[in-house]
Every structure is written in structure tokens, then in C-alpha cells.
Amino acid sequence: MTRQAEALQQELEALAVKYASTDGDVAAGLRKIANRAKEYADRSFVILVAGPVKSGKSTFVNLVANAFVSPTHFLECTVRPSIISSTDDPSEEVITAYRSKNPSRTVEQVDAIIDSLRGLIKPDAVPEVIKESWPLTEANIDEHVALDLSDTDNDGTLMTTIKTPGGRLLTSGVYLIDMPGFDGSRANLDSPLYKTIAARADLIILVQSSNSAITKVSDDFFRLLKENNRNVPVCLLHNVFDAAHWRAEDVKTGAVKEHLDYAVARIKEKGFNLDEKNAYVVNLGMVWDWRNRSYSSEEASLKEASDAFGEIEQKMYDVLISQRDSIRVRNVIGRTLQQIEDMIAEVQGRIAGMDASEKRYEEIRNAFDALKDRDIPVKAEVNVDYFSMRNEITGIYTLAKRSLSGRYSVKETREIVMRFISDCSKAIGRKVNDALRFLDAQVNGEAVTLWKSDIADVLRKCDIDEPLPGMSMTDFPVVNPEFDMLDPEKIVPWSLFRYNIGKVNEFLAHVYYFLVGKDDSTDVGYISFMLPETVEAEADEHREKVLGRIDSTYGRFVERKRREALLRVIPDRNAFGKEYMQMKDLHSDLDKVRKTTENALKI
């Protein structure tokens, strides 16, 4: 078993080194398991004394310690753990209280205190704890160990340790931990310290009395042990409170046996290692009275109880001495196996969580990609009112002719003609722009409105509370196309004209007929043959502007929110992938160690 424990510890040390760069909690957990596995080489032995309130635990601890180290009273006295060990040096018979400077680290601190007592770490390695010591006297026990329940919240003491000469069972290297009653008013089983200490025990001595019941709280205690130290052996001490003096001895004996048998059956039923020969019956109060000469009668009964306790203590001692190493090593392997199983469960939970994150990541990415890939149609036919356009140009032409008079210089002629061309160009531009505004209106059309609704829905599902940006038709400038075909030189060269009314009028007529044609009943002129192609090109360009504005407003918003949503789920894809593979590898490695450890316990 020792060789198996050593091999297990080496495997765990190797895993701690291999995965030292993983998540802090995982790496710390592996180091903790590896450190706990080292306990196979530690010769110390931890005995946990537990049981209900007023079952006689403190009296038992005092008898084993051969000193008054645990207060006894009709009230609940033991309200925090106390570790009792032996010493041959009277100067070391002291009480030491450990107070935490950082309550958030109490579990770590209690673990470290136990390690320091067992010599696994140096005393000054206990983190953020203040120690204060007093000589071992009954007065100091009453003052520093026995507290009123109302004082425990303000006292801040984690636990106490006591050095005493010890009795038969409390030999060198044995640590007796006096625990508060697990059904006490402090809800002790809810304390993480109870779990921490229970997980370090090599032997459990469960003290019950004729007046204490096997309750749901007792079951909760066994469940806690099962979860943290399932292979630990158990001794049962039934403390007889003989109140029914008037009953016959055989009736009283039968009742005690019934209580004992029932408790043994319940403990074994929970899967713990309790041999009937390690279930004992005694009246602890009578033993205490005899050893402290606190009696005036019934000496024979008291002495008989004391002798019986001496035999019980001797039997426990014989078991402890003969099986101490094997119990300790088997406990270490068993506890390590449970810690490995807990770590496997934690790693499985992490893998499951990462799988869920990956699934969520893909869902978000697909949802946003579907939004990005949405086809927003801006393909409606552009209808220009060419008839109205001809009429407006005719009106411009009529006004221009009426305004002519006299002769004109070259400059004046050019200005008249250019003003006429400009007015016609603006009229054409207005008509085209009115038609293109139909495209502009689609920024708030049905397709965009539906798209915006779907964007908002995806944002809600991603817990993003941000309004969508707005956009209106006024965001688009009025289109005034420049028509190259209206260049005067391309219509009629300047050199062909004389600068009088007739010639200017003739020049304007050339431009007018170039635009509308000479006969309204025939499809001739720029407006009929050349402008539609120009309008189509302008419409295509305008569609691109509208789509570009929609994309820049909503498409970029979607892309920005997509990045934000994905980063909230997985901030770093590379680191995530690396951690995921580490967790899978760690799970495989731990499972191999688990199987090896299970086989070791079958030896």
C-alpha cells in the first residue's frame, strides 16, 4: 500500500507540473491533491471525535487526554474545533488560539494549521492567522475554550490547539480533534470547517448517548463523511445515561444493546467500516466521577465503569498501534481517490461549460451572420414623367424667347444660351430626382424595417440593450446630374451664329429641339432617346448609394454588435481552444490515475 501511495503521489506531482499553466483553480486543485497524497509518509494520526450535542464527547476527550481540556456543562459548550495532542515537556502544556485575519481564507487556514501541527509545513507558513497561547489550566480552558454562543460571532477564533500529557490512547503523533456537536445551534455541519476537518481524519470515534437520537442530522454527518472521506474507519462509543434506576438490569441492558445495535446497523448501512467489536458501551459520567473522586457512594459501580473504559481505551489503542500505518495509508489513498473524482467532476463541468459556450458562440455567430447576409432589395423601377418634363422645358423655352431683344455681344449670347441650358438641365434634374426619391424612401421600406426588427430581436437574445441607429431620407443629398450631352458646342458650334435676336432665337431653338424633338408625336430628341439611358445609369448609382448608406448605418452596427456579443461568450478563441484541449487531456490523465488508485484500494 505504501508503494502504491508513493506511486500515486508521484503521478499527481507530474500532473501538477504538466498542468501548472492551466486555470488558477485547476492548477491549485492539482497541487492540493498532490500535497494531500504526500500524507502517506506522515506518521501522525488524526482521530475525529464527533457526535450530537450533549452525547458525552467532551467527557470522552477529557478522559483520553487525561486532563481537563474540553469544557462540560448542561449547555452546549464545544462551539469550535479543538485539537488535542500529547507532550512530555510540561512547559509545552499550553492552549493556543488561532484567529483569522482574513475570514475568506478560513478553509485554507484550517488545512494549514493541521499541516503545521503534523509537521508537513512550518508553523509560520499558516496564512493570515494570529496565534495566542496560555498555560493549560482549568481557568484558561473556561476562559479561552468555553465560550457563550453569543460570543462566537465576535470572537473570531478559528480553532484551538491544546498540548497535554495525554492518556493511553493519546500517544505521540496522535491528534484528537474535539468537534462541536453536529446538531448544535451553530449549524455546524453547514460550516466548511467541519467538511475540511472531516476530510483529514484517519479514524472517527462517534459518541452517542442513551438520550441522543439517530436523526437526520446524523445522516447528514455520514453523508458529509461519505463525500469527503468514505474509507475512514469508525468506532462507536455508546454513552449510557442510566436514568431508569427502577428497571431490572436485564431490561436496562437490553435497551442499551438495542440502541447500540441500531446505531451500528445505521452506520454500516451508510457504507462505513464499523466492525461490531469496535462498538463500545460505557457510562462516561461515572468514569469521570471515579477518576476525579467526585462521589460519595456507589464506588463499586463507578470503579466498574472506569475499568470498562480502561479496557475500551486499551482496545482502541491496540487497534491504533497494530493498524495505524495501514489505516493511515489506506485513508490517504481513499481520500486522494475522492479528491481525484471531485477534480474529474470539476473538469467535466468545465468541459460541459465550454461546450455550452462553444454552442452559444456558434448560435450568436450564425444569428448575426444571417443578419449580415440579408439581401435588402432596392430594385424598384424608376419612372420618370417625361411628358411633364417636356412641358416644363417648353415653358422655359417660351420665357427665354420672350426675354430676347436687340443685339448681343458674344458674352451676352453665351450667358443667355448657358442660362437656358442650365434651366433645362435643372428641370430635367428635378424630374429625375423626384423619381429617384422613390429609391431613397426604401431606407425605411418594408425590407429594411423587417431587417431592423430582426436585428433588435437578435440583440435581445444576446442580452444587448442598445437602440438601433436611425436613418431618414434627408440623409441623402438631392441629385442634380450633370448631362454632358447638353454641352452647347455638341449641339451647335458657336462659330455658326451671329449675335442678333434671330440668330440667338435660332440657337435656343436648336437646343430646345435637341431636347424634346421637332414633333411631339414622334419619339425624337434627347429626352426620348438619350435621357432614359442616363437615368438608368443614375438610378443604378443611386441604388448603390442607398444600399451603401443602409449598410454603413445598420450593417456596420450589426458587425460591431456581433463582435461584442461573441467576445462576451469567448473573449479569446485561441486561448479558449488551448484550454479546452488541456481540459480534455487532463480529464483523460485523471481518469487513468483514478483507475490505478481504485485498483490500489482493492489490494
pLDDT in tens, 433-474: 888 777 777 777 788 888 889 999 999 999 888 888 876 655
Question: Tens digits of per-residue pLDDT, 383-432?
Answer: 888 889 899 999 999 998 888 877 777 777 778 888 888 888 888 888 88
Q: Rounded CA gap, 27 and 20, in Å?
A: 5
The residue whose grid cell reads 431618414 is: 472
Hey, what's the cell of 452? 431592423
Residue 29 near residue 347 (C-beta atoms within 8 A): no
pLDDT at 570 over 80: yes
What's the pLDDT score for residue 152? 44
Q: What is the DSSP letter of 233?
A: B
Candidates 542, 549, 548; CA nearest to 437 is 542
Q: Rounded CA gap, 147 and 137, in Å?
A: 16
For the residues 592-600, what does the mean pLDDT come to? 91
Question: Tens digits of per-residue pLDDT, 171-213?
Answer: 888 999 988 777 655 545 666 777 788 888 889 898 988 766 5
What's the pLDDT score for residue 75? 46
What's the pLDDT score for residue 405? 79
Burial group, residue 91, by CB count within 10 angstroms (0-12, 13-18, 19+): exposed
Q: What is the pTM of this model?
A: 0.69
Residue 523 near residue 404 (C-beta atoms within 8 A): no
Hey, what's the cell of 243? 436514568
For the residues 54-61, what does the mean pLDDT come to? 87
CA angle, 195 then 196 then 200, to 5° = 110
Residue 168 near residue 317 (C-beta atoms within 8 A): yes
Residue 278 near residue 236 (C-beta atoms within 8 A): yes
The residue whose grid cell reads 452559444 is: 360
What's the pLDDT score for residue 258? 82
Residue 495 pLDDT grade (very low, low, confident, very high; cuts 50, 70, 90): low
- Mean pLDDT (the chain, rounded): 82
What's the pLDDT score for residue 148? 47
What's the pLDDT score for residue 162? 93
- The gap from C-alpha 151 to its chain's centroid, in whole angstroms, comes to 35
Cα torsion at 178, 181, 185, 189 (round to 10°)?
90
Backbone torsion region of residue 108, taken as left when φ is above 0, otherwise alpha when ψ lies between -120 and 50, otherwise beta? alpha
What's the pLDDT score for residue 589? 96
Burial 414-445 (b: 16+ CB within 10 A, else e): eebbeebbebbbebbbebbbebbeebbebbeb
Q: Rounded CA gap, 109 and 106, in Å?
A: 5
More confident residue, 489 or 557: 557
Q: Rounded CA gap, 455 and 470, in Å?
A: 13
For the residues 225-242, what does the mean pLDDT come to? 83
Residue 476 pLDDT grade (very low, low, confident, very high; cuts 50, 70, 90): low
Q: What is the DSSP letter of 555?
A: I
Residue 168 near residue 311 (C-beta atoms within 8 A): no
Question: Tens digits of per-residue pLDDT, 4-38?
Answer: 889 999 999 999 999 998 888 888 889 989 888 88
Residue ranges of domains in the chain, CATH in brackets: 2-357 (3.40.50.300), 381-571 (no CATH)
Residue 92 CB coordination number (10 Å) = 14
